[in-house]
A and B are shown apart, each in its own frame.
Chain A
Amino acid sequence: MSYLEAKVPPIRELRRPETALAHGEFRCGGGPKKAVCAIMAQADRDFTQGSICPLLPALGIMTSLPQTVVLLHGAVGCGSCAVGNNVNVRAGNAARGRADLDALWLSTALNEDNVIFGGGEKLASALIEADAIYQPKVILAVSGCLPGVIGDDIDNVAAETQPKVKAKILPIHCEGFKSRFMATAYDVIYHALGRNLLPLESGPKDKNAINVMNVGSMGLADEKELARLLGELGLKANFFPVFASPDSFALATRARASISVCPTHDDYFLSHLWEKYGVPAIIRHMPIGIKNTSLWLTHLGEELNMAAQAQDLADKEEAKLNAALAPYKEFFAGKTAFVSAGEYRSLATGLLLRELGFKLLGIRSFHFDGFAEVELAKLDQGEEFIFNVANVQPFEEANLLARLRPDIFLGHWHGNSTAARLGIPAQVIYNSGYAYIGYQGAFDLARRLKRRLTNPAFYKRVGRFAKLPYRAEWYAADPFSHIRAQEAESPLTAQTQKANFAEARP
């Protein structure tokens, strides 16, 4: 049965009970599946730093949708980061030929009275008013933490208000305290889109159309690269859901197949497209890195009975790319790297770094679930590296980086300042607008990494003076000592520890 029949989507904790948030392991790789077995879904921390909840990545998708109003139901600060998402929305709109177009977000700004007497009426009035003023196609009624605690039923309010409103009202559940996993955001969005924007019947199939599920961090450069590759196979890429107009979702039901770009992102929606509309789903690899892009392509080829064509394309692209990368690989040889980002992104980028000639010292993933086992297994073939699962938690990162002092750090948007403050050159690997994906993305990232390493002066200067808030004692402590139910012992040899501590910077 489809989850979409339920009013509220299940949180990842229930839907994917293997999902883990806290894990630290000094040794990963160098053997099959060792780390995967050690990851404990229930592990936790007795000290945590600020985090992000499902609302934040959800807003990244929601604010990008054209002709859509995002109505945040909560305290006025809840989702105020839409103003930050708007930076990407403006850039994405401009890249698509719509200059100076901002996202539109509103807040019911719940106050003390609303907390006592309920905020349902306010939400209903806001829906009616917003519909009249902005005349959007869709209004996303988004619940933050507060309505979840005071008991506002946004589904009921949406259903009761719908007859008075022209726009389609989509209730979105982003009560932050209900899930520890930001990946819940993707399910929440797909739940609403799947229930409300898809037609009853799919209509005639378009045998050249492929649904390519994009992610908030993909810019137009990445979409163009995937469209180019699909184009070489005579296929047309339709991108969903980021920047897709509400009307266009109906097209998704008529495609020949759907393919995911980030396997932890899309199964919720793609299973539904398969079960209800017979659109096959392809969810296995992330097209970041050389081998992974080829695997992504050839897997698609196999599913569409065009394996030979896809393999041929992959071979040609790899040959061209590898020739172009030769001088870069020489430059990177022996240099060390450390990655921290979303689950799939970090693992796939780790593999790419090895392809480019870097020695991979460590990976931090924001969470870990069964989707990524295949990716971790790919990394198991190489040298050992440190694997840390953490919803950011920069204190662990600071400790690790101060020991390891990689030549380059690659991190998520807003996740690079610890490295930079330690004087380690940092490369952002999750920011829309820059190329990361496909063969083109691999080359472009190499080009940018070389530029970073050619002159790291900014980071060296910043590192000399910038402050981090940690005590000197913390840098000497086991970086994973605040993970509960964590039994792995530190396998660092005494000698390595001594050397690393000498370099650790209080």
Chain B
Amino acid sequence: MSGSFLERPRFSCSLGGALAAAGNIQNVAPILHAGPGCAGNFAWSNNGAAALAVTGPCLGLNVPATNIQEKEVVFGGLDRLREEILNAAKIIQSELYFVLTGCLPEVIGDDVESLVAEIAAQGLPLVMASAAGFKGDSFHGYEAVLKTLIAKVIKPARVKDDKLVNVFGVPPSLNPFWRGDLNGFKELLGLLGLSANVFFGPSQSFKGLTQAGKARKNIVVSSLYGLEAAELYQEKFEVDYVLAPYPIGAAAAERFLTVVGRALEIPRRKVKKAIEEAGQRHYDYLEPLVDVYNDMEAQRHVLIVGDVNYALALTDFFSQDLGWIPELTVITNPLSPEEETRVLKNHIDLGGLAPNRLIFESRLSYIAKAAKNVWGGPGLTYWDSKQPVFVAGSSLERALAAELSATHLSLTYPIANRAVLTRGYVGYSGGLRLTEDVVGAFIANR
């Protein structure tokens, strides 16, 4: 990734990611110590990007915030923050108040950590995470919140629960399907008799979260997000982690179960049985589609654009479950060369994708160029047009899809044109849902 700017960034800043994370933990109230527009900015961002999921009880413009002004920039913002925290405790009902600091207090040097420690010592359940926008993107903020949970909120447990694991690597909002996906992970791990803490969303209680220290193993489902948190966890609780790439669809679910089963030393026969049964059930549901799927020649050439988790998982799904041809996969996270290498190394199987068909690029103008290299052709009578095309990307790729005469479906952030509530694509059932959505997209006028 070169250049002096990002084009239509596919994430917000650290504070945005941290707010999406902390604000989506049950009964937790974030408190922003930041400039006056940050909360509104994130709410409006969600409007155009998070598949219509804009607020929660203590998100959007409900979130307590210091709305720092010139006075605080000049004289420091700690007095204002103290007042805000104490009044928030009176007005807002919460089991944990979670201060998140943005750009301004970090540049002016507010010692928020000491203030938070002082107030917490008086008995208010209060923690903080540093999430200045200039320190990183939303994924950084997600990680910062996880690390605070591990350092301050999750209690150590002497006795481990053999059947309990923690799942790291699914950032709320940044993955518009996060709620459904987290349920998908629970379902998938349930096939091995495991239960999972997922930390975020309606299916995770706050009490359960504080007891996550009982987990026997951490499962990191991303080659980028949640790894630092898992390292910190290992340091603090002496529980190690396994990296199991994001599983969308049946083929990936099989690999996921195999990796997790091996890491947890679950008997191979048991894992194999679970895989056989789940696969059978999956295809019991898929089978009726086979006739029409075949007769309409539903196989497609596909352009995939998304973040590390989804771009690779979708490539797997299209390639291995549907038998499509991934012509170009674009990973849109701005990464250092070392991170790019790590991502590729950590991913087990690229679904037979030729290496030159995978690029790291976030600018749509460059993605369009790369796509034209694949689909632009001499226009001769006899040449492989690589049609029909399917674009699995964000809402930003709609104009490009139209240029390629492709069907488009929004599957990665930002998503402006789908409403997502329970929908998720993880695992076997996720693969079935994705099949429905993908086929539904190109038969809309049938």
Contacts and interface: CB of A to CB of B under 8 A. Distances in A.
Contact of B84 (A47, A74, A123): A47
Nearest to A125: B4
Interface in A145-170: 145-146, 149-150
Contacts, number: 246
A469 B108 contact: no
A241 interface: no
A90 B395 CA distance: 11
Contact of B107 (A56, A149, A418): A149
B65 A50 contact: yes
A386 interface: no
B63 A109 contact: no
Interface stretch (A111-119, A268-276, A303-311): A111-119
Nearest to A398: B62
B348 interface: no
B41 A112 contact: no
A51 B40 contact: yes
B133 A74 contact: yes
Given A53-B40, A102-B396, A146-B107, A75 B87 contact: no
B62 A394 contact: yes
Given A176-B35, A469-B58, A47 B416 contact: no
Contacts of A457: none
Contacts of A129: 3-5
A51, A106, A126, A474: most-surrounded residue (chain B CB, <10 A): A51
Contact of A81 (B45, B57, B107, B365): B45
Given A50-B32, A76-B137, A77-B133, A482 B44 contact: no
A392 B36 CA distance: 12
A15 interface: no
B91 interface: yes
Given A50-B63, A102-B399, A470-B93, A84 B13 contact: no
A500 to B, nearest CB: 19
A497 interface: no
B253 interface: no
Interface string A79-99: 111111111001000000000
A395 B91 contact: yes
Contact of B61 (A50, A75, A112): A50
B169 to A, nearest CB: 21
Contacts of B263: none
Contacts of A418: 62
B429 interface: no
Given A48-B67, A80-B45, A83-B416, A149 B58 contact: no
A259 B119 CA distance: 54
A415 B61 contact: yes
Interface residues of B, number: 74
B70 A115 contact: no
Contact of B48 (A86, A145, A394): A86
B292 to A, nearest CB: 29
Interface in A397-415: 414-415
A471 B91 contact: yes
Contacts of B398: 100, 102
Interface in A12-71: 46-56, 71
B196 interface: no
Nearest to A466: B57
Nearest to A103: B8
A107 interface: yes
A180 B416 contact: no
A85 to B, nearest CB: 7
B40 A48 contact: no
A104 B134 CA distance: 22
Nearest to A106: B5
A51 B67 CA distance: 7
B78 interface: no
A414 B61 contact: yes
Given A107-B5, A125-B4, A129-B5, A414 B44 contact: yes
B210 interface: no
Given A47-B84, A55-B41, A108 B5 contact: yes
Contacts of A71: 5
A53, A145, A146, A180: most-surrounded residue (chain B CB, <10 A): A145
A76 B12 contact: yes
B41 A471 contact: no
B68 interface: yes
Interface in B1-42: 3-9, 11-16, 29, 32, 35-42
Given A53-B36, A56-B44, 6 more contacts: A51-B37, A53-B41, A84-B47, A110-B134, A395-B62, A469-B94
28 contacts: A46-B87, A47-B88, A48-B64, A49-B61, A50-B38, A51-B36, A51-B40, A54-B37, A76-B13, A77-B15, A78-B103, A80-B12, A81-B40, A81-B48, A86-B416, A87-B48, A105-B8, A107-B5, A107-B6, A110-B134, A115-B134, A134-B365, A180-B36, A417-B60, A469-B57, A470-B93, A471-B93, A474-B91
Interface of B: 3-9, 11-16, 29, 32, 35-49, 54-55, 57-58, 60-70, 72-73, 83-84, 87-88, 90-94, 103-104, 107-108, 132-135, 137-138, 334, 365, 396, 398-399, 402, 414, 416
Interface of A: 46-56, 71, 74-87, 90, 100-102, 104-112, 114-115, 122-123, 125-126, 129-130, 133-134, 145-146, 149-150, 176-178, 180, 392, 394-395, 414-415, 417-418, 421, 466-474, 482
